[in-house]
């Protein structure tokens, strides 16, 4: 058996998320169905992150084992010929034995997009959160910087989460803006860290928008982190604007032969 690592991109709009579910469409199930045609039997896929319903991925990573002698490039082509148009395998490579896309991941980058414009473009409606009112981006930037470092993110994850600890380390947390054709601006939040909790990024964004609205101050983020209560934070932002950008692995780890 050979272990493979693939990088996937998908439009999450019509998926229930990455992870397979018995009564809904998932990215994992689509990939496993395509792999079963290649392998001739069921193949179990492990994803680096369990993106939720409606969440997109630019660089999701998955791993699996095959007995088929197919080469990596031919595997990529074969899978893309069998997968639906809203999922694509960007790259495929043979990985070292024992590689697991989830358990060997060392950091991830997420991106969240807000269309801050009076009228939402029909081409953004599935890929950004539309907020027509003015937001104080400077305050949102100051607040975002408070999340860099090691913190207890207990105020920013879903109630009932099975995570053993809510302590995580963030290495990046900032906003950028760019003008949109026809007026308004696209606000993009990027956050990178060693791990994330369920709904964590979307809850952080919902809270930062409250800062942009003037309902919270940038300085209040320290107290919010210290509260460790979900009720203390803001609303969960819609999944539409969230993207898993990249998953990183240790260069010295069991990642690839090449």
Catalytic residue list: 52
Q: How far apart are CA 103 and CA 195, in angstroms?
A: 11
User: What is the number of alpha carbons within 13 Å of residue 161 lying toward its C-beta?
Assistant: 18
* CB neighbourhood size of 231 (10 A): 7
> Which two tokens mark 90?
């960007």
* CB neighbourhood size of 111 (10 A): 19
Tell me if 171 sits within 8 A of 188, measured CB to CB. Answer: no
Tell me if 6 sits within 8 A of 255, measured CB to CB. Answer: no
């Amino acid at each position: 058996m050979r272990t493979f690592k693939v990088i996937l991109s998908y439009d999450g709009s019509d998926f229930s998320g990455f992870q397979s579910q018995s009564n809904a469409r998932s990215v994992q199930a689509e990939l496993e169905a395509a792999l079963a045609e290649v392998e001739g039997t069921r193949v179990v896929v492990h994803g680096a992150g369990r993106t939720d319903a409606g969440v997109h991925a630019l660089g999701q990573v998955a791993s699996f084992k095959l007995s088929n002698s197919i080469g990596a490039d031919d595997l990529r082509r074969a899978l893309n010929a069998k997968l639906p148009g809203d999922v694509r395998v960007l790259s495929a490579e043979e990985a070292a034995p024992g590689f697991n896309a989830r358990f060997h991941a060392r950091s991830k980058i997420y991106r969240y997009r807000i269309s801050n414009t009076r009228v939402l473009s029909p081409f953004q409606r599935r890929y950004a959160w539309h907020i027509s009112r003015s937001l104080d981006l400077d305050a949102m930037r100051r607040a975002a910087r408070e999340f860099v470092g090691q913190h207890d993110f207990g105020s920013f994850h879903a109630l009932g989460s099975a995570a053993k600890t809510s302590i995580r380390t963030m290495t990046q947390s900032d906003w950028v803006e760019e003008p949109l054709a026809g007026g308004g601006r696209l606000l993009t939040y990027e956050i990178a860290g060693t791990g994330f909790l369920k709904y964590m990024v979307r809850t952080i964004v919902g809270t930062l928008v409250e800062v942009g609205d003037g309902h919270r101050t940038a300085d209040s983020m320290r107290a919010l982190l210290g509260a460790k209560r979900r009720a203390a934070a803001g609303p969960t932002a819609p999944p539409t604007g969230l993207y898993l950008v990249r998953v990183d692995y240790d260069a010295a780890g069991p990642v690839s032969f090449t």
